[in-house]
């Protein structure tokens, strides 16, 4: 296979949601072992793109290959882990019961439950019902579920939302460790200072890719002082381009 090196390969992906086209022909190539930040304004299509990559999004046309297989293939289900935006865990179970259930389905070692509880710093609340946790704790339970086993690709939709800087720093160190071990991570975020920790950045706006570059490359091409500034410049440039045409 020619493209077997790419962890994710997307060609001309179009997605309609509720009669509107929300992704207008996306092309993307994610190298293995990279941490890719998916950024952009709210409603820009980040979640839709991630859903297409894990194979839960009905797509209009185009090609989405993940680890050399069509997205959503049965063989990918134990190799790709997904954390949805919004916490997809059972409120009426404890943290440990949630993770034990996902572990049983994945068929990985029981010790994995303790490992991910530790990795997400949930030890103190491991036996509390999820409905009694704070928003940030809840989202960490959801993240812990995605860390079970040894997935080759992690697709995380806003994993650090609602977390304090110390915890965010710890999680990003974990992401970097995973990537150093060859795991590919796609992480969407609204927090721009997280962008600097990525190997590549993807800026999605109104269903199109405005930029797909390294953080350094982005600063250079836009002349921005930091990633936030660079993105603002890109978005401004795109907006004036549209005005110029019409």
Partner 1 sequence: MKPTATLATAARVLRQILHDPRTIALLVVVPSLLIGLMAWLFDTTPVFAQVGPAMLALFPFIVMFLVTSISTLRERRSGTLERLLTLPLRRLDIILGYALAFGVAAIVQAGVAVGFAIYVCGLDVEGSLWLLLGVAVLDAILGTTLGLLASAFARTEFQVVQFMPALVFPQVLLGGVFLPRDQLPDVLRSISDWLPLSHAIDALNAIARGTEDIGGDLLIVAAFALGAVLLGALTLRRRTP
Ligand X SMILES: Nc1ncnc2c1ncn2[C@@H]1O[C@H](COP(=O)(O)OP(=O)(O)OP(=O)(O)O)[C@@H](O)[C@H]1O
**What is the number of other CB atoms lying within 10 angstroms of the CB of residue 244?**
7
Residues near ligand X (CB under 6 A), total? 12
Query: Is the CB of residue 207 less than 8 Å from the CB of residue 22?
Result: yes
Q: What residues numbered 4-43 form the site for partner 1, per CB under 8 A?
A: 17-18
45 binds, among partner 1, ligand X, Mg ion, none (CB under 5 to 8 A by kind): ligand X
- Reduced to 3 states, what is the DSSP secondary structure of residue 209? strand
**Does 90 participate in binding partner 1 (rule CB under 8 A)?**
yes
The CA-atom distances, in angstroms, between 70 and each of 59, 121, 127, 194 are: 12, 35, 39, 30
Provide the token pair at 43: 């409603």
Query: Is the CB of residue 182 less than 8 Å from the CB of residue 32?
Result: yes
* Among 97-105, 160-168, 204-212, 217-225, the segment contacting partner 1 (CB under 8 A): 97-105
Taking CB under 6 A as the criterion, the residue among 29, 32, 34, 85 binding ligand X is 85
Rounded CA gap, 9 and 31, in Å? 9
Identity of the residue, 46 or 140, whose beta carbon is nearer to ligand X in the bound complex: 46
Query: Is the CB of residue 120 less than 8 Å from the CB of residue 144?
Result: yes
**Does 85 participate in binding Mg ion (rule CB under 5 A)?**
yes
Identity of the residue, 37 or 45, whose beta carbon is nearer to ligand X in the bound complex: 45
**Does 145 participate in binding partner 1 (rule CB under 8 A)?**
yes
The CA-atom distances, in angstroms, between 238 and each of 26, 61, 201, 205, 232 are: 16, 25, 17, 9, 10
Taking CB under 6 A as the criterion, the residue among 6, 37, 48, 84 binding ligand X is 48
Rounded CA gap, 95 and 130, in Å? 6
Looking up tokens 């992480």 gives 187
Provide the token pair at 217: 């490359």
165 binds, among Mg ion, ligand X, partner 1, none (CB under 5 to 8 A by kind): none
**Does 156 participate in binding ligand X (rule CB under 6 A)?**
no
**Does 188 participate in binding partner 1 (rule CB under 8 A)?**
no
Instruction: Please give the residue ranges that form the binding site for ligand X (CB under 6 A).
Output: 17-18, 22, 40, 42-48, 85
Instruction: Please give the residue ranges that form the binding site for partner 1 (CB under 8 A).
Output: 17-18, 54-58, 72, 74, 77-78, 80-82, 84, 86-93, 97, 101-102, 104-107, 129, 145
């Amino acid at each position: 296979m020619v493209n077997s090196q790419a962890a994710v390969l997307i060609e001309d992906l179009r997605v309609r949601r509720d009669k509107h086209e929300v992704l207008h022909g996306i092309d993307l190539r994610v190298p293995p072992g990279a941490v890719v930040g998916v950024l952009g304004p709210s409603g820009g299509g980040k979640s839709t793109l991630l859903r297409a990559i894990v194979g839960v999004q009905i797509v209009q046309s185009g090609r989405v290959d993940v680890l050399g297989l069509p997205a959503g293939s049965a063989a990918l289900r134990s190799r790709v882990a997904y954390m949805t935006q919004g916490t997809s865990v059972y409120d009426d179970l404890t943290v440990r019961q949630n993770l034990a259930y996902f572990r049983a389905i994945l068929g990985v070692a029981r010790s994995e439950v303790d490992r991910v509880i530790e990795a997400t710093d949930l030890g103190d609340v491991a036996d509390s019902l999820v409905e009694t946790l704070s928003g940030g704790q809840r989202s960490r339970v959801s993240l812990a579920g995605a860390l079970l086993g040894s997935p080759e690709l992690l697709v995380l939709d806003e994993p650090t939302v609602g977390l304090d800087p110390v915890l965010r720093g710890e999680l990003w160190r974990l992401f970097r460790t995973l990537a150093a071990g060859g795991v590919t991570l796609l992480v969407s975020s609204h927090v721009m200072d997280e962008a600097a920790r990525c190997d590549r950045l993807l800026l999605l706006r109104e269903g199109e890719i405005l930029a797909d570059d390294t953080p350094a490359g982005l600063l250079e091409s836009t002349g921005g002082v930091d990633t936030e500034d660079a993105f603002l410049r890109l978005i401004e440039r795109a907006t004036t381009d549209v005005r110029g045409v019409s």
